[in-house]
Structure 1
Amino acid sequence: MTQQAVAAPDKLDAAVLKVAGVVVLGAIMSILDVTVVSVALPTFQREFDASYARVAWTMTGYTLALATVIPLAGWAADRFGTKRLYMIALALFTIGSGLCATADSIGQLILYRVLQGLGGGMLMPIGMTIMTRAAGPNRIGRLMAVLGIPMLLGPICGPILGGWLIDTASWHWIFLINLPIGVIALLYAQMALPKDAPKPSESFDFIGMLMLSPGLALFLYGISTLPEAGTFADAEVWAPMLVGAALVVAFVRYSFKPRHPLLDLRLFANRNLTIASVTLFVFIIAFMGAGLLFPSYFLQVRGESTLDAGLLMAPQGIGAMLTMPIAGTLADRVPIGRTVPFALALIVVGFFSFTQVDPTTSYWLLCGSLFVMGLGMGGTMMPIMTSALKTLHAQDVARGSTLVNILQQIGGSVGAAVMSVILTNELNGSQPIPGVTDPASGKPVTEAGLATAVQLQPDLLRQFPVDPALIERGLDFAARSFSSTFWVAFALVLATFIPAALLPRRREPSHLLDGEQGDEQPKTPVVIH
């Protein structure tokens, strides 16, 4: 056996980077699409004459589709091969993007977003599987840092790109822009990824699928309905949540019986995977939930344009861009239990400023705080994901990455719903304006509601000629509402230190290449099936 077969090179060679390029292109499409659409919601309201709660389903439907298809990714990767499945996911996502641009009603747009989600849901877990197997045990941290590139570009470029396309062209282009990228990614994948050699796969777990996929979809549907309903007592919230939770619990009890379950919870016997997953889950709820509110503060309280709000968010991505490559290298050499707590401390320091916001808080302070938070984020997410996967055996990577991605989706949905409900309830505590009602709902308009609406659509002042002092009081109240919501997120970030304290503080051997080298035939270090 040659020396190359025994150990993969320490540096990222051209063959590995070529594979990484394919995955990064797909991840950029998926992540950019989420952040671009998030700034287009007010546009959808105007174009389709729909309520905010209705157009928000363009985001929710995408998330529900992700949750439904992610559990299938691990089995499908083993059964059909990662190259074939990844290209199918790219094609679905690209076709869904094209259809979204043709939608002439909000219902059609939501339906096409679900189709997009079916493809997007497979891009990240399959992409992580491809890259983890390509890296080998000694380079996974550095290669995960490469995968972090689209995670940085999304928050930086998504809102900016979305605002620019909507201002200069039309909302259709936030979807049409995916078409050339999708075609390039498909051609690149065909050339760069080695031919699949699928292993004879175990039988598909239909019973597990009938419990887990609908269970996740129903639970997230209930969570996502919470901001519109405003209370857990609404049947549209608690009924699907209860049924979904029951199906998920039933799946958990069942999943230990079959030899090859749809989602292999036995992997949680790996301490590294369990601790890293819990840490990531708590972090995602806190940080990603609050992260959706940062641009909303700039739009609703400060009256910035969509493009300017996106530009104000850029320091966070720039900070993460500086630390993520360093964190990736350190993750290969230093136990993350010695680095992640310091990164979390940076997030706490930066986050505190947002608990103090008012209508005139200095942009220098807020942008500086976002930069510090970005520095911390770059040293947190990818090292935790690296720790979760690097001690798994090669045959378990696909299912391990599926577990991690499901937890990310659930955490993000829960965080967004909880923060939205808290903010909505805080804003609803504002005083109603006598004689002024919302023509759509017939409900009284509050001071804060009018103030934030005016910031988003200044021409409303012509419809509601009110005292400027009233608008000022409303903005003060809205800023306090954001501040109170950020306090909850701040407390959740602090709670992340609890599981983070249990992250490994000693180097542990990786098993990624166990069983990949035979005794008779040498294998290349890049193993993809």
Structure 2
Amino acid sequence: MTYRYKVALIFLIGFFIDCINIFISAVALPTLSAALHVSTSDVAWVANAYILGLTLIIPVSTWLAGRFGSREILTASMILFTASVWMCGLADSFNELVIWRFVQGMGGGLLIPVGQALTFNLFKGEQRAKISTLVMAVALIAPAISPTIGGIIVDSSSWRWVFYSNIPFSLIAALLSWFWINEARPTSLPRPDIKGLLLVSAALGSLLMGMSLYGGDAPAWVAALFVTAGVTFVLLYGLHYRRCKNPIIELSLLKSKKLSTSIFIYYAIPGVFTGVNLMSIFFLQNTLHFSARLTGMFMILYAIGAFIAMLICGRTYNRMGAKRLFALGMLLHSAGIATLLLVNDPSDLWVIVIAYSLMGIGGGIGANTAQTTSLMDFEGNDTHKASVIWNINRQMSFSIGAALFLMVFNLLLKHFDTTQAYHATFAIASLVGLFPLFQLSQLNTQKDCHAQRNS
């Protein structure tokens, strides 16, 4: 195996672990809610804490890799991940579980952007489309098997083994990182932007907390206070960015229409789906009384649809272009979400099959196209910086999607019965997923893209 494929394999294992932690824990949330005696809004922090920890460490991960070495950081990240996931399984209280999930996220957040930047710098030009296809293949396998495995674990054993099951993969990633990675450290490193990191962390944490509280049991003014604080921190980072020579997040890279549009798409498709899937899990288990195993198996349908989408994108990306594929993906994905409005009782299995299949095909087309398109404009150090932005976006889209639609559901529940509230939430989600259609005109045509490459 050549060196670049060794690096790619390490990154793909880390990416696989990340995807597992999003989907395998989601199917256990109704059981966790009952076992730890917490509300639906509160139990979402089992997922949110992981994503928040991962998101907050991403901006400084590239600097840490340059300071201590990619091999050392990648190995340490997986050791930290292994220790924290073990402690998650041992947790005796909800607060303890959330704290260790946050630490677990920090471990995972070190591997993904560093591994992605190393990989994408070794695969250039059209080869990036090939490695993006491998990334999406992993993104299909993990959602396909992890909810089903998680459902089997929850139904036959304990929710604790949902976390223990991660340990073999993280230990393999740690060993491979130590023995395979061989990257020279830069001769000089700029000082890390600690002030920018604190502002970004405060902004993300405040916005996520505000959405999680709004519509729940907390007073509305408390949620509004967190959201206001989050917006304020965003504005303060904007002022800080103008004065900082080496900002933690290089906002100028967002001038790339490929990157900015891909970011918007990721919120509208994988982000929206994360929220829809979370609500669907609670709907199917708590309202229709499906088992955790059966609920998890619907993700196999999603993965099959996404696999078909991956084949479509791999064969047609250079011919159709990102604009058409993005539009097709959004339309199919939103159509799948809208189909969930027809689910009223346990006998509507075929409706759920159609819904998850459509969401899988549309979601696969959109996510695969975004992954392929996002970093096309960058090389060298700019790839690292763009990777930081892309991975912050990717993780926050999952967390914001879950928090947003939990908030919407809790607000609707005050005015409708449970089934009607779920259906209205799905209807709103299907519309939200179409918003980026209005931004697609900013993307170059395929003819223009070829002209830029040849110039």
- Return the TM-score normalized by structure 1: 0.79
Does residue 367 of the first structure (1) align with residue 359 of the second (2)? no
Match of 1:300 in 2: 286
> How much does 1:154 deviate?
3.1
CA contact (8 A) 1:24 1:149 kept: no
Does residue 234 of the first structure (1) align with residue 208 of the second (2)? no
CA contact (8 A) 1:331 1:383 kept: yes
CA contact (8 A) 1:337 1:500 kept: yes
One-letter code aligned to 1:191: F
Match of 1:488 in 2: 428
Counterparts of 1:505-520 in structure 2, within 5 Å, are 505-506=445-446, 508=449
Call closer, same or farther: CA 1:511–1:150 in 2, change over 3 Å.
Answer: farther
Counterparts of 1:256-267 in structure 2, within 5 Å, are 256-267=242-253
CA contact (8 A) 1:73 1:398 kept: no
CA distance in 2, matches of 1:348, 1:61: 28
Call closer, same or farther: CA 1:210–1:245 in 2, change over 3 Å.
Answer: same
> How much does 1:158 deviate?
2.1
Q: Deviations over 1:77-126 (max 9, x none)?
A: 44444333222222221111111122122222111111101112233322
Match of 2:442 in 1: 502
Q: Deviations over 1:56-89 (max 9, x none)?
A: 3222222221232122123334444433322222
Does residue 75 of the first structure (1) align with residue 63 of the second (2)? yes
Counterparts of 1:4-23 in structure 2, within 5 Å, are 14-23=2-11
One-letter code aligned to 1:379: I
Does residue 30 of the first structure (1) align with residue 18 of the second (2)? yes
Match of 1:91 in 2: 79
CA distance in 2, matches of 1:65, 1:309: 27
RMSD: 2.5
Counterparts of 1:366-405 in structure 2, within 5 Å, are 366-405=352-391
Identity %: 24
CA distance in 1, matches of 2:238, 2:267: 18
Segments of structure 1 that go 5 or more residues without pairing to the other structure are 1-12, 431-476, 513-529
Call closer, same or farther: CA 1:252–1:310 in 2, change over 3 Å.
Answer: same
CA distance in 2, matches of 1:172, 1:429: 36
Q: Deviations over 1:467-511 (max 9, x none)?
A: xxxxxxxxxx43322211111011112222112343332253799
Call closer, same or farther: CA 1:269–1:78 in 2, change over 3 Å.
Answer: farther
Q: Report the secondary structure of 2:442's partner residue.
A: coil
Within the candidate set 107, 111, 131, 1:143 is matched to 131
CA distance in 2, matches of 1:412, 1:226: 18
> How much does 1:284 deviate?
4.1
Structure showing greater Rg: 1
Match of 1:112 in 2: 100
Q: Deviations over 1:114-150 (max 9, x none)?
A: 1101112233322321221121122111201211233
Segments of structure 2 that go 5 or more residues without pairing to the other structure are none
One-letter code aligned to 2:206: L
CA distance in 2, matches of 1:360, 1:49: 26
Q: Report the secondary structure of 1:228's partner residue.
A: coil
CA distance in 2, matches of 1:190, 1:170: 33
Match of 2:122 in 1: 134
Match of 2:392 in 1: 406
Counterparts of 1:343-362 in structure 2, within 5 Å, are 343-359=329-345, 362=348
Call closer, same or farther: CA 1:53–1:489 in 2, change over 3 Å.
Answer: closer
> How much does 1:199 deviate?
4.2
One-letter code aligned to 1:73: S
Does residue 268 of the first structure (1) align with residue 254 of the second (2)? yes
CA contact (8 A) 1:142 1:325 kept: no
Match of 1:45 in 2: 33
Match of 2:197 in 1: 209
CA distance in 1, matches of 2:357, 2:280: 13
One-letter code aligned to 1:292: L
- Return the TM-score normalized by structure 2: 0.91
CA contact (8 A) 2:78 2:108 kept: yes
More helix as a share of residues: 2
CA contact (8 A) 1:83 1:195 kept: yes
CA distance in 2, matches of 1:290, 1:42: 15
> How much does 1:253 deviate?
2.0
One-letter code aligned to 1:149: A
Call closer, same or farther: CA 1:414–1:48 in 2, change over 3 Å.
Answer: closer
CA contact (8 A) 2:196 2:240 kept: yes
Q: Deviations over 1:407-455 (max 9, x none)?
A: 233333332222112222333335xxxxxxxxxxxxxxxxxxxxxxxxx
